[in-house]
Amino acid sequence: MAEVQDVSHDLGHLEWETPLFNQAITQFEQALPHAAVGDAVAERLRFPERSLVVSVPVRLDDGRWRVFPGYRVQHSSVLGPTKGGVRYDPEVDLGECAALAMWMTWKCALLRLPYGGAKGGIRCNPRALSLNELQALTRRFTSELLPVLGPQQDIPAPDMATNEQTMAWIMDTYSMQVGYAVPEIVTGKPISLGGSLFRHEATGAGVVMVIERCFQKLGTPLAGQRCVVQGFGNVGGIAAGELHDRGALVVAVSDLSGGVHHEGGLDISALRSYAEANGSLAGYDSGERVSNEELLELPCDILVLAAREDQVTGENAGRIQARVVAEGANGPTSVEADAILGERGILVLPDVLTNAGGVTVSYFEWVQDIGRLFWDRNEIRAKLADKLADAFDRVWRLAEEQGLSLRSAALVAGIREVGAALTSRGIYP
Ligand code: GLU
């Protein structure tokens, strides 16, 4: 393949260039020298393939109209349809979606799933919207995205503040347009619509499978390790339960309302029931209350970051007192923080590996939908454990062989997969 001219530096500011996108690009650049892909491939992969910006009008329950900005970014379709979540959050913008879409590309490729990366979302405050308003928002957003969605084109899934119900509305809106039921248009949907067993738990359970594999390599049992978990939603809440089930001691957890800390170990099932009944951990009084900032700095063996991006930064990385940091969220550790944690000998289990359980079971769901043949829970759990162990071992080996951080090794492994495919296919035309 002929090399392309390096033109990107002459293009000025690109629409998706934000601090988070620059974080994704910096990680990519750090991995690139070890990935041995050609300059043309590297240049191509710096850009998301396609970005769609829409505006979504919604009639609120009180009769007023509001219009919300919505986004879908597809980073790479080299290995197959693009795949990734849809989030509802006040911080959603084009750069965030582009960064998260790029990470999805490396994540899918690292796990050897036949997908590229995508991400989308709507900038809104989902907690201020009623169920009716969320339904209207989701259905109109889906119809705005119709030209770029499809079971062989781009397959959404849940992400922050979206869930099985959101996926059911997307599936129904899409199916109504084509005239027949298309369960394989989304993953993470209700079981009754062709959702997969174990998808709901997959991201949080996968985080703990990766942590467990890491402790096997370190030669230390996971049982008895002291854990702090930031985020108590679908990732953190499940991960805390799985850690507890393996005999680890969860000493602190938090959500948007702040954290709860108890050195003797928290009762995770009581906390989950409380959060379910009350909508958050606010008011839970068994244990000492801490802020999210304080929680991150508690002494522990394992710190699970399962809230959102940009939590461990240059400012607080020096005060983190964990031995292992596991990224359940996407992008929770800044580039500066990564370097500080590395120098301090704190092992970071990177997002593209650690939270890949979700998209892996999404892949299983899509395969089951297409085949119209469904697997049982134990089979799915075992298949997920195999996939994560295989990816973990490849990353660990690469890190050892090339003297890389686990993050760089994970990205190198992902970039190599996409790079090899793109080199064989060539860049069109
Ligand atoms: N939103 C999840 C992630 O960031 C899941 C994506 C999917 O299942 O497609 O990995």
pLDDT tens by residue, 362-371: 999 999 999 9
Q: Which of 242, 357, 273, 265 is nearest to 253 (CA)?
A: 265
Question: Average per-residue pLDDT in the chain?
Answer: 96
Residue 339 has pLDDT above 50, yes or no: yes
Decide: 359 in ligand 1 pocket, CB within 6 A: yes
Decide: 157 in ligand 1 pocket, CB within 6 A: yes
Q: Cα(119) to centroid of ligand 1, in Å? A: 8
Q: How does residue 8 score in pLDDT terms, banded at 50, 70 and 90?
A: low
Q: Is 387 a catalytic residue?
A: no
At residue 13, the pLDDT reads: 92
pLDDT in tens, 187-210: 999 999 999 999 999 999 999 999
pLDDT in tens, 351-394: 999 999 999 999 999 999 999 999 999 999 999 999 999 999 99
Rounded to whole angstroms, the Cα distance separating 135 from 77 reads: 29
**Token code pair at residue 365:** 């769901």
Residues 335-343: what's their mean pLDDT? 98
CB crowding 13-25: b at 16 or more within 10 Å, else e: ebebbbebbebbb
Residue 90 has pLDDT above 90, yes or no: yes
At residue 7, the pLDDT reads: 46
Residue 214 has pLDDT above 80, yes or no: yes
Domains and CATH numbers, the chain: 15-25+37-179 (3.40.50.10860), 200-354 (3.40.50.720)
Residue 4 has pLDDT above 70, yes or no: no
Report the nearest atom of ligand 1 relative to the CA of 361.
Answer: 8
pLDDT in tens, 152-193: 999 999 999 999 999 999 999 999 999 999 999 999 999 999
φ, ψ of residue 286 to 5 degrees: the values are -95, 95
pLDDT in tens, 241-296: 999 999 999 999 999 999 999 999 999 999 999 999 999 999 998 999 999 999 99
Report the nearest atom of ligand 1 relative to the CA of 84.
Answer: 9
Q: How does residue 10 score in pLDDT terms, banded at 50, 70 and 90?
A: confident
**Which of 5-19, 105-119, 139-153, 303-317 is predicted least confidently?**
5-19
Identify the residue whose tokens are 């402790």: 215
Q: Cα(254) to centroid of ligand 1, in Å? A: 22
Rounded to whole angstroms, the Cα distance separating 408 from 333 reads: 13
Decide: 85 in ligand 1 pocket, CB within 6 A: yes
Decide: 309 in ligand 1 pocket, CB within 6 A: no
pLDDT in tens, 19-46: 999 999 999 999 999 999 999 999 999 9
At residue 3, the pLDDT reads: 47
| Under 8 Å between Cβ of 302 and 225 | yes
pLDDT in tens, 107-143: 999 999 999 999 999 999 999 999 999 999 999 999 9
Decide: 84 in ligand 1 pocket, CB within 6 A: yes
**Token code pair at residue 140:** 């109109």
C-beta neighbour count of 167 within 10 angstroms: 26
